[in-house]
Structure formats: C-alpha cells, structure tokens
Amino acid sequence: MNTVSEKILAQHLVSGEMCAGKPIKIKIDQTLTQDATGTMAYLQLESIGIDRVKTELSVSYIDHNTLQSGFENADDHAYLQSVADRYGIVFSKAGNGICHQVHLERFAVPGKTLLGSDSHTPTAGGMGMLAMGAGGLDVAAAMAGRPFQIMMPKIVKMELKGKLQKGVAAKDIILKVLSMLSVKGGVGKIIEYTGEGVSTLSIPQRATITNMGAELGATSSIFPSDEKTYEFLKKQHREKDYVEIKADENATYDEEYVIDLNELEPLIALPHMPDNVVTVKSMAGTPIQQVNIGSCTNSSYLDIVTVSNILKGHVVHPNVSASLSCGSKQVLCMLSQNNQLTPILESGVRLLECTCGPCIGMGQSPATNAFSLRTFNRNFYGRSGTLSAKVGLVSCETAAYSAIQGVISDPRECNYECAEDLETYTIHDENIIYPSCSKDVEIVRGPNIKPLPINTPLDDQLSKKVIIKVGDHITTDDIMPAGAKILPYRSNIEKISEFCFMNQKESFHDDCLNNKGGFIVAGQNYGQGSSREHAALAPMYLGIKAVLAKSFARIHQANLINFGILPCIFENEKDYDTIDETDELYFTDLHKLKPNSVIEVQNTTKNKTYRLLLPYNEEQINILEQGGLLNTLK
C-alpha cells in the first residue's frame, strides 16, 4: 500500500524511521551541479579530500554564468572542467543546455535518487525519479558518499482528472497547484501526481510541473514511471533505463487534492510571487513590453514547437521585445533539422543560447516599468534585473500568442496547429565530456577562484546587534541577488558579500563589518527559492551568527546549519513584533545546546526575553557547534 515516493525512499533508506516529520537518511545515486553553485560545491569536495566521487553518476553543468564579459566566468568553467576530469564527474559544456532539461533527456532514471545544487532539481521527478535540491555542501558530501538527511516528508496526492483543452498547458496545472497551496504550502511534503490525467501528459510536460514544485517549497514532486516514461526513454535511445513504478491501488496519502484538467484555464502568476495566480482572461488586454520563452520550466522540444506553430506566419508586435532559449542543444538541433526554427526567426523573436539566460538576470532585463511575460518559474522582486519591472509567469502558449498581440492574450483564441512529437530523437552528446579520473589532472585555478571561507566554532555567549529585520517570504534572491553583475563572483565570497541584501538595505554589508557581525530577524518562510548557499555563506563571512525567524524554507535552513549560523524559530510569533534593528541580543550557554531544545535569549535593549526553538538533532547541533559541516567532515 505504498506511494511512489515511499517505494523509492524505502529502497534508499540508510537510517531513520519513515514517519512524517522524523529525520531519515537516504542513499544518493546521482548528483548534479551547475556552475553558479558548482564552484563552491567542488571547492568543498576538494577540501573533504576523496579520491573520486562515490555516486553512480555525478554531472557538472555549465548553464548559468555563460555571459563572459570578463575572465571570471571563463575561469570558473575551466576550474569546473578540470575538477570534473580529476574526480570522475561527467561535464556538460556551456551551450549544451540547462542542467534540468539535459538531465531529464540524457541521465534521469526512474526509481533512482538525485541530489542537485539547484532548487529545481525535482524536474527529474517527471521521470519518476526522487530528485531534490540542496546546498552545494550537501551535494559535495553526497558525492563523497555521505547519505542525505531530510525530514520524512508528508505525501500529498494530487489527482489529475480529464485532459487539458487546446491552449491550456502543463504550466497552467502547476500554476493552479500554486494558487491552491501557496509558496509555502509544499514545505515538508512530496507532491505526488496520480489519476487518469497523468497518462495524457508527456515526460517534459510532467517535468514542467515537478520543476515548479520548487515554488511550493516542496521537498520534491513526482510522477509515476509508466508507458509514457518508457516512450520518452526509448526516443532518447535509453529504454534500458526504464523501470515501472506506480503507487499501489490502496496507497494512503497525508493530504489529497483533485484538479479537473477539462476545466482548467490559462493562468498567470502576477508580480512578485509565483502563487499570485489569476486567469489570463482576467488580465487580457494588458499591454506588455517583453516576452521571454525558455528556462528549465518550459524549454522542451514540444514546448518550442508549440511556440513555433503559434508564431508561424506572424511577427512579434512592434512594442514587444521577445526572446527564446531552448533548454538543450538536442532541442535546438531537432528544431533546426525539422525546419521549426524558421517561423521563430521570421517572427523576429531573438534567439538566445541554450542556457538559463534571462531567468537568472543574465541579460534581457526589461525596460523601466515594463510588463514582461515569461515562461519561467520565478517572478521575485528584482530578479529580472529591473526593480520597477513587473514579471508575469505563463505558459509557452500564452507567451507566444501575447507576443504577437502586444497585450496579454488568452491562447484559446489563437488558431494554431498542435505540436506533434517526433518518432525518435536525435542524440547530440558531443558536448558531454566523460572524465579521465586521473590523479595527474591539474586543477585550473584562475584568480577568480578564491579559497573557501571557513567559519569558527560557535562561541558559548554571543552579544550582538540585529543588523536587519525583514518580513515574510524573503527569498534567497533578496538575500544574495544574482544577475550579470553579481554572478561572476560566485567563487569569490569576499567580493559577493558586498551585494548581500543590497535591495533590502544597502548598508547591510558595512553595518555587519562595523558591528563585527550580528543577527538577522525575519518573518515566515525565510530563505525560500534558490538553493544558493551564498545566501548563507556571505552572511557567515560578514559575521552573522543567528537568524531568528517565524519559519524557514527547507534548503536555506539546511544551508544555515551547514555554515554554522543558528536558525532559530520564535516559539511565540508575536515576539517578532517587539524586536527592532540595532537591538542588542544576548545568547548564553550555546556550548550546552541539546537536540530539539528551546533556548532563552535576552533583548537587552528592550529588556525582554524570547524563547527560541532549535528543532535539530544531535548531528546538526554538533555541526552548529563546530562552525559548520566542513569542520566536521574534515
């Protein structure tokens, strides 16, 4: 009577009890990294000191920082390629595609576990793989053979009934789920898709849904592995990787929801949160200035053929700047071989590289006050690179049709040919490089590859100021922004820390230095979004010792522990209201921390005492006391 998730977890269980909310450790079969988080992950792997990776497969992708406007990104690529060669990691060169799309096409295997240093790693859940995002250090530890610890998630049944109507897409399914559950509705849960509607969805469509499950804060999202999975693997010439995995008929779930695909409409997530969802119809007629198609959510072959079919014979509206990036070299090559690129080029859409590009603010920042429609997964404030811009998240259908119209438009009104899948796919693995694993490989370290900063063990007493107080749903983009100006410093913590919280409080960096560090106070769901551990590393570097929040997002909470910053939860949420920036907080007896404890902290400025929860086990407390995971692994 098991769910798909339980079957895979049981097969990979190393220790713990599979009882929701209890810590479990699982074996990791595969890992993936991308360049923006990868340099840190591999510096950490090197410092752990192993001979070669212990996983079945580890892949290092270059897809985020491909804009080489200086030597920095190119240095990072050279470092990553040499480390991959040395330690037995498969290397996917810049231009080969976005990690999640390429992994789905070439490496994902149903029933296996995948840990990736990117929050959208659950994309591979579309293939019946248990895939999770984590900080780079956890991924490095998994490559070194360490089991991965999570809290046993609750399993949510998302039953899909019926079939999508023309003009309604897989993207609309996940936007619907976001409107039902919100950006923190998935925390501590795996969203498992079932029902008759599942068999109507292709693997890339399923992957669009599991990809954006990251925006629910979910531990993972997963589909069964069925006939459609076999078909996709066969087209990828990988049918030998197929295994069937379905939930038992009488499997039980912790929560259950139903979505009727027949009744679903095109949806849009309005600024500045992916769960701020309304119907496209209700926004129809709103002028737009930009359309960006692509990202790991919507860049498969069928997605782009749909765009090509909608654009055929039309041009992009004069007031709209439109761009498109395919998810992989395979997608781009197949489009070109099948003449589906021509309608896109003729329409005036600007063709970009097969990378993350505008999704991570690498170019294509919208104009001042512009409305930008994107097929991506995140519309957080400032992420596009233009603070005044409004970003709406939509399907490829809505994006392409609106690009022609110049206003937000409902694709059900558009007359276009439905995309047909190919009988088989052509394989273009030329940019995938297999490692030599030789000890003689020289690791290339350009001047941008700076040594890893290491934290000092936790002091028994801390008396410091609150440097910043922020509200609910602060994202790791707020803490450590990305974009073309900042991403080149992902391997240089001293430099990147200058940008920490820059859109929230410009003086954060200087205030930290002038006060010799301090504390952060936050509301609900602190650290949602990206897995970037720089959002923990930079504050650590600046001397932040604890974050006091109403609640935390899973990956960021783990990253804080990994870097020796105390993630404390208010026992009484109202205490949040009584703390202000510059208040002095006093922590004592930190060398006597117990697992699952409550500590008392004094606000000496306001003369108040707060009770803070530390719901961590012995191992996590030990990591915190030693100043981070690296200190304990060495």
- Give the C-alpha separation, 123 to 221, whole Å: 8
Tell me, letter by letter, the H, E, C secondary structure of 402-445: HHHHCECCCHHHCCCCCCCCCCCCCCCHHHEECCCCCCCCCCCC
Segment interacting with ligand MIC, rule: CB under 6 A, options 107-115, 261-269, 525-533, 624-632: 525-533
The H or E element that residue 610 is part of is strand 608-614
The least CB distance from residue 357 to ligand MIC, in Å, is: 11
Among 53, 131, 359, 466, binds ligand SF4 (CB under 6 A): 359
Q: Is 98 in the site for ligand SF4 (CB under 6 A)?
A: yes
| Shortest spacing between CB 42 and ligand SF4, in angstroms | 18
For residues 151, 152, 153, 159, the Cα torsion angle rounded to the nearest 10 degrees is 170
Q: Which of residues 247-266 bind ligand MIC (CB under 6 A)?
A: none
Q: Is 118 in the site for ligand SF4 (CB under 6 A)?
A: yes
One of 114, 156, 356, 403 touching ligand SF4 (CB under 6 A):
356
Least Å distance, CB 36 to ligand SF4, is: 8
Contact partner at residue 295 from ligand MIC, ligand SF4, none, CB < 5 to 8 Å by partner kind: ligand SF4
CB under 6 A: which stretch of 252-260, 269-277, 512-520, 528-536 binds ligand MIC?
A: 528-536
Query: How do 277-279 and 290-293 pair as beta strands?
Result: unpaired
Binding residues among 261-300 for ligand SF4 as defined by CB under 6 A: 295-296
Site string for ligand MIC, 17-56 (x = CB under 6 A): -------------------xx-------------------
Q: Rounded to an integer, what distance in angstroms lies between the CA atom of residue 169 and that of residue 572? A: 42
* Residue 360 binds ligand SF4, judged by CB under 6 A: yes
Task: Give, in order, the Cα–Cα distances in Å from 294 to each of 322, 328, 353, 383.
Answer: 11, 10, 10, 16
630 binds, among ligand SF4, ligand MIC, none (CB under 5 to 8 A by kind): none
| Alpha-helix residue ranges (DSSP H) falling in 420-547 | 476-479, 493-496, 508-514, 534-541
Q: Is 132 in the site for ligand SF4 (CB under 6 A)?
A: no
532 binds, options ligand SF4, ligand MIC, none, Cβ within 5 to 8 A by partner type: ligand MIC
Report, in Å, the least distance between residue 30 CB and ligand SF4.
17
Closest CB to ligand MIC among residues 323, 531: 531
Stretch of 189-197, 352-360, 422-430, 554-562 contacting ligand SF4, by CB under 6 A: 352-360
CB of 37 to ligand MIC, least distance (A): 4
CA 606 to chain centre: 39
**377 belongs to the binding site for ligand SF4 (CB under 6 A):** yes
Question: What burial class does residue 608 get, using C-beta atoms within 10 Å of its C-beta: 0-12 exposed, 13-18 middle, 19+ buried?
Answer: middle
Q: What string marks each residue from 53 to 72 as x (binds ligand MIC by CB under 6 A) or -? A: -----------x--------
Beta bridge partners of 63: none
Piece of 407-415, 430-438, 530-538, 605-613 that binds ligand MIC (CB under 6 A): 530-538
Instruction: Classify each residue of 115-125 as buried b or exposed e, where b means 16 or more C-beta atoms within 10 Å of its C-beta.
Output: bbbbbbbbbbb
Length of the chain: 634
Q: Which is nearer to ligand SF4, 321 or 377 (CB)?
A: 377
State in angstroms the smallest separation of the CB of 360 from ligand SF4: 4
Spell out the long-range contacts of 496-504 with Cβ–Cβ below 8 A and sequence spacing 24 or more. 496/534, 496/538, 497/538, 497/539, 497/541, 497/542, 499/538, 500/538, 500/539, 500/542, 501/468, 503/381, 503/382, 503/387, 503/478, 504/468, 504/470, 504/474, 504/478
What is the bridge-based pairing of β-strands 518-522 and 462-469?
parallel
61: tokens are 């992708």
Cis peptide before 120 (omega within 30 of 0): no
Cβ proximity to ligand MIC: between 479 and 593 the closer is 479
- State the binding string over 81-120 for ligand MIC (x if CB under 6 A, else -): -------------------------------------xxx
How many angstroms separate the Cα of 276 from the Cα of each of 179, 379, 391, 503? 7, 10, 11, 21
Residue 558 makes contact with ligand MIC by CB under 6 A = no
**Binds ligand MIC by CB under 6 A, chosen from 360, 449, 566, 590:** 360
CB neighbours of residue 600 within 10 Å: 13
* Footprint on this chain of ligand MIC (rule: CB under 6 A): 36-37, 64, 118-120, 133, 360, 482, 530-532
Name the residues that contact ligand SF4, by CB under 6 A: 64, 98, 118, 120, 295-296, 356, 359-360, 376-377
